[in-house]
Amino acid sequence: MRIPFFNPPSVLIGASLTLFSAGCNTTTTAPAASATASSEPALRVTAIPLQDLDYSGDQSALAALDRDLNAAGTDLQKLAAMEARLVALLRRTDASIAARQAACQRLGTVWAATGVPSASALELLKAMLVDDRETDIARLTLERTPGAAVDTLLVDAVAKTTGRIRLGIIQTLTARAPVSAVAAIAALLGDQDPATAKAGATALGQIGTAAALAALRSAPATVAGLFEAKLTLARKLPTAECVALLTELQGETRAAPHQRASALRGLLDLEPSSAAPRIIAVLAGTDWTPKQVALEAIFSSRAFGLTAALAAQLPTWDVPTQAAVITALARRPDATTTAAIVAATQHTAATVRTAAIDALGDLPGDTSLVTLLATLGSSDNFDDAKLARASLARLNGPGVSAAVLAGAEKGPAQKRALFIEQIASRNLTEGLPFLHQSRQDPDATIRTAAVGSLGELAPVSDQGLLLAWAAGATDATEQTRALRSLVSVTLRNPDTAKRALPIYVALEKAAPATVVGLLPVLGRLGGKESAECAARLALSATATVADAATTALARWPDRSAQPSLVMVAAKATVASARSAANQAAFRYYERTREVWTAAESTLVTQLLGATTDAAARKKLVVLLNRASDTPALALVEKLQSEPALTAAAKTAAQCIAANLAGPPQVRASDSESSAKNLFDGKTATQWRGPVTPGQWVEIDFKQARPLHRLTLDQTGRTGEFPERYEVFVTDDLAKPGNVLVSGAGKPNRTIIDLPDGTRGRYVTIKNTAERVDSMWSISELFVD
């Protein structure tokens, strides 16, 4: 069955090659013409069974054809036979469009190799070219076939066609760019069809001759694509003529700014000797479209004298242009621009000044630039000073590093401190001995800068020096910086098991005042071992040490300090430390909701044993609502005998019994298969649904239980929360009852506190408002 064929050639070729390759194991290659014909007998000229080929299904006939074409190689006699086979297929009136397309593609391969299509075959293609159903596949063959005969055939067809067919033929002529087509195509520039006129202009641009240019210049100004066609044509002309045409196009007032900028880019590439005056002239203007081209050229062009010419003109331009040029000059460091950029560091406009200061770091460096950047880096202007320090850290050149080291030793304290910081920023390890000696400097500013640089530069072996420095520091800022450096150097030690041991030993042997000063380092190091060291210190009989150590534990960055806090709450000899540890341990559980384990139950049990305060004990019992281990159940059953804890302990026992029954069953209105993720103990998995009214999650606890709080954890999807929610609690899904509580979701975690005495088997959480283009996620649903 024949099917209509209407795809444009560019789409047609790509699609057909993809479709036909599916069943073909041998790739068709374009053979080169052979100098002499082979003496082997010609291939059998009979039609192969391709006439019923389709774009899907069995492709074996096509594969056989390709094998024969590959076997023909460069043998002209065999290629002639292949031509005959393919032409015979095209003459069949019952051949499918897929078969005809395949034949045209391969006929183009044959003719590209031989360059001698037969007259009868050309007559066939001539007829196909003007046929609306066949024109596109005919052009598949003709576009690749060399020779004036094909050019003539295509040019003649232009006058005999209109509309889509003619546009396709013009496209083929554009690809071939035959000089003989100029007259025929020029006649189309006045065509009433805008697409035809534009296609004609494009074709003339590709042909690129003087006659084509004359035709374009005579074309009506309303022809679309005329400027682009001239721009394309210019690059095909001799250099002098190309420059003349591009200059004309750049000055074309009716053209769009981006079009004129394209002409300018061509001129800058083609005529480097004139690049400097052209760039300077553009930068003096107000149109930023060509300015962008000029600024790009500052980096890419290697025109002689360009940077010096730009530096001389820099002060004459407006503020935005000066800043942009300075930034561009920094990308091609040249000492000829240094004086102009140095002068710009004093500009009254902040944008120019900051661009200049930043650029200095990329210029060829010398001692004068070191001095300038140090002065700017120690100024009262914070933004300028910050940029100057960054530039000084990048500055390279003879004598720069030596000047930095010399500046660190002598001069005003403020500048010395800046140079000391640069020792680390520039990674000047030769400055380490000086930094060590600076511990004895009488000026705290110098000592602080030196110990800070050691934190970035010092080897692991300097840990002891930094520990002693931090312990002996009398200035608060110096000690803080020393502690930070001590942590940095310690953490650089790859021996994670032993790297902090010297700090632990020193702390446990130091005088109380020293211990209090050094304690903050433990929290910055973090981890279980550091927490245990802090806990040992919290057991001290010296109140200042015990309180400081407990405070450090209370501020610990992760949960690793929780066992140590509980131990301090139970064993500290200083009452204030014991009380603070108890409160901090409870506070951690109250503000942090994570998967509960038997270890957490054990810690809460120890906290209960460490306090006699009834209110505190009641709060701890409530925490055990989260437990799911039998020791916790036995504990709360025992605590029911205490009058102050009876009610809380009974509730906790019911909660633990429900938790021991196993994870709840979960259903959801959307993505129900992932609803089980709500209780899998992994925050890396989620349930997700759209934030639309009526979306719901239903939890079945398998038995009625007390309910105090629901925490919807959105870890990993912090912004995916319910827009507005309603919560229902019931023992019978057929009777959900009234809304128990409602509210708005929150990022990170949505915490839903339920009324006192809430109890039920089923909980339904329903989203009631829409948030466009967003999702509702729950990583874990924690129940208290």
Nearest in space to 463 (alpha carbons), one of 438, 429, 488, 428: 488
pLDDT score recorded for residue 30: 40
Residue ranges covered by each domain of the chain: 1-146, 147-237, 400-499, 665-783
Please, are residues 421 and 431 in contact by the beta-carbon 8 Å criterion? Answer: no
pLDDT digits (tens, 9 = 90+) for 14-45: 333 333 333 333 334 444 433 333 333 344 43
Section 699-712 average pLDDT: 94
Please provide the average confidence, as pLDDT, over all residues in the chain. 90
Mean pLDDT of the 682-693 span:
92
745's tokens: 């979701």
**Is residue 725 helix, strand or coil?**
strand
Domains 147-237 and 665-783 belong to one CATH topology? no
The sign of the CA dihedral 607, 609, 610, 614 is positive
The segment with the largest mean pLDDT, out of 19-28, 30-39, 57-66, 318-327, is 318-327
pLDDT class of 605 with cuts at 50, 70, 90: very high
CATH of 665-783, one of 3.30.70.2190, 2.60.120.260, 1.10.10.10, 3.40.640.10: 2.60.120.260
Alpha carbon distance 157, 188 (integer Å): 13
Averaged over 468-496, what is the pLDDT?
95
Q: Give pLDDT, residue 51.
A: 81
CA distance 530 to 635: 31
Lowest mean pLDDT of 52-66, 247-261, 320-334, 497-511, name the range. 52-66
For residue 42, what pLDDT is reported?
A: 41
735 vs 715: CA distance, rounded Å:
33
**Three-state SS at 125:** helix
Query: Per-residue DSSP letters for 323-381?
Result: HHHHHHHHTS--GGGHHHHHHHTT-SSHHHHHHHHHHHTTSBP-HHHHHHHHHHHTSS-
Give the pLDDT confidence of 77-135 residue by residue, as tens digits: 999 999 999 999 999 988 899 999 999 999 988 998 888 888 889 999 999 999 999 99
Which of 21-35, 426-440, 742-756 shows the lowest per-residue confidence on average (mean pLDDT)?
21-35
pLDDT of amino acid 36: 37
pLDDT of residue 115: 81
pLDDT at residue number 35? 35
- 147-237: CATH class: mainly alpha
pLDDT tens digits for range 228-251: 999 999 999 999 999 999 999 999
- Per-residue pLDDT of 543-557, as tens digits, reads 999 999 999 999 998
pLDDT-derived band of residue 1, with 50, 70 and 90 as boundaries? very low
Percent of the chain whose pLDDT exceeds 70: 94
Range 358-362 average pLDDT:
97
Contacts of residue 283, Cβ cutoff 8 Å, sequence gap at least 6: 291, 294, 295, 310, 313, 317, 321, 325
Say how many CA atoms lie within 13 Å of 289 toward its Cβ: 11
Q: Which two tokens stand for residue 412?
A: 């005003």
What does the DSSP 8-state code read for residue 43?
P
Residue 41 has a pLDDT of 38
pLDDT tens, 569-599?
A: 999 999 999 999 999 999 998 888 888 999 9
Of 35-49, 212-226, 636-650, the one with minimum mean pLDDT is 35-49
In this prediction, residue 592 carries a pLDDT of 84
What pLDDT was estimated at residue 358?
Answer: 98
Sheet containing 741-744: give its strands across. Answer: 665-668, 696-706, 759-767, 724-730, 741-744
Three-class DSSP category at 578:
helix
φ and ψ at residue 140, rounded to 5 degrees: -60, -40
What is the maximum alpha-carbon separation in the chain? 115
The reported pLDDT for the residue numbered 23 is 36
Calculate ∠ Cα 45-46-49, nearest 5°: 140
pLDDT of residue 371: 97
Res 161: pLDDT: 94
Q: Are 363 and 333 in contact (CB under 8 A)?
A: yes
pLDDT tens digits along 624-639 = 999 999 999 999 999 9
Mean pLDDT of 615-626: 94
Is the pLDDT at 540 greater than 80? The verdict is: yes
- The neighbouring-strand residues paired with 706 are 759
* The predicted structure's pLDDT at residue 53: 86
pLDDT score, position 52: 80
Q: How confident is the model at residue 725 (pLDDT cuts 50, 70, 90)?
A: very high
Q: Is the pLDDT of residue 4 over 70?
A: no
pLDDT at 20: 37
